């Protein structure tokens, strides 16, 4: 199963990000969407789960949860925008993956059997950080992460 990861689009949904996400079985957007039309475009690719980021304001954004736990192929994934606001103990909750955004820095680290994944920012470039997306590949209970820098020159 392929889960596409995207975050921090900030009202800019790049064609390179859309191309990468094609063929996903599901999509996770870790917040700072800014424009609800982004959600419509992503949902046309695959079933979409999104959380509200600190820049998501308005009635449409209030309908989004601040955090959510979903399960794909038996793997529990907890998603929120800012890792500093993590309000659960992932290990005690049986969560295998925590997906976040906010920092615009792509990262993947494993601690106590939990993968902490930030796909980075797919929207506007911030400082010298890359424009990036990611994916989770779930196969037989195993989770592999791939983070990809998009060519947006």
Predicted confidence (pLDDT) per residue in 132-153, tens digit: 999 999 999 999 999 999 998 7
Q: What is the pLDDT of residue 62?
A: 97
Average pLDDT over residues 89-94: 98
CB atoms within 10 A of CB 18: 17
The CATH number of residue 8's host domain is 3.60.21.10
Domain limits at 29?
A: 2-149
* Burial of residue 105, with CB atoms counted within 10 A of its CB: 0-12 exposed, 13-18 middle, 19 or more buried: middle
* CA nearest to 42, candidates 59, 61, 62, 22: 22
Q: What is the pLDDT of residues 93-143, one digit of tens each?
A: 999 999 999 999 999 999 999 999 999 999 988 888 999 999 999 999 999
The domain tally of the chain equals 1
Q: What is the pLDDT of residue 128?
A: 87
The arrangement of strands across the sheet holding 114-118 comes to: 67-72, 75-80, 97-99, 114-118, 107-111
**Residues 45, 70: contact at Cβ < 8 Å?**
no
* CA nearest to 6, candidates 91, 100, 72, 73: 100
pLDDT for residue 72 is more than 90: yes
Q: What is the pLDDT of residues 58-68, one digit of tens each?
A: 999 999 999 99
Q: What is the pLDDT of residue 44?
A: 98
């Amino acid at each position: 199963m392929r889960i596409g990861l995207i975050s921090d689009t900030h009202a800019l949904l790049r064609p390179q990000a859309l191309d990468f996400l094609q063929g996903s079985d599901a999509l996770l957007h870790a917040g700072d969407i800014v424009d609800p039309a982004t959600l419509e475009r992503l949902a046309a690719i695959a079933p979409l789960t999104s959380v509200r980021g600190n820049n998501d304001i308005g009635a449409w954004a209030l309908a989004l949860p601040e955090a959510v736990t979903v399960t794909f192929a038996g793997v529990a994934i907890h998603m929120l925008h800012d890792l500093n606001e993590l309000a659960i103990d992932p290990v005690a909750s049986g969560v295998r993956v925590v997906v976040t955004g906010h920092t615009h820095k792509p990262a993947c680290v494993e601690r106590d059997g939990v993968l902490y994944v930030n796909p980075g920012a797919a929207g506007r470039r911030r400082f010298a950080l890359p424009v990036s997306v990611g994916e989770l590949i779930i196969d037989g209970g195993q989770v592999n992460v791939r983070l990809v820098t998009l060519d947006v020159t």
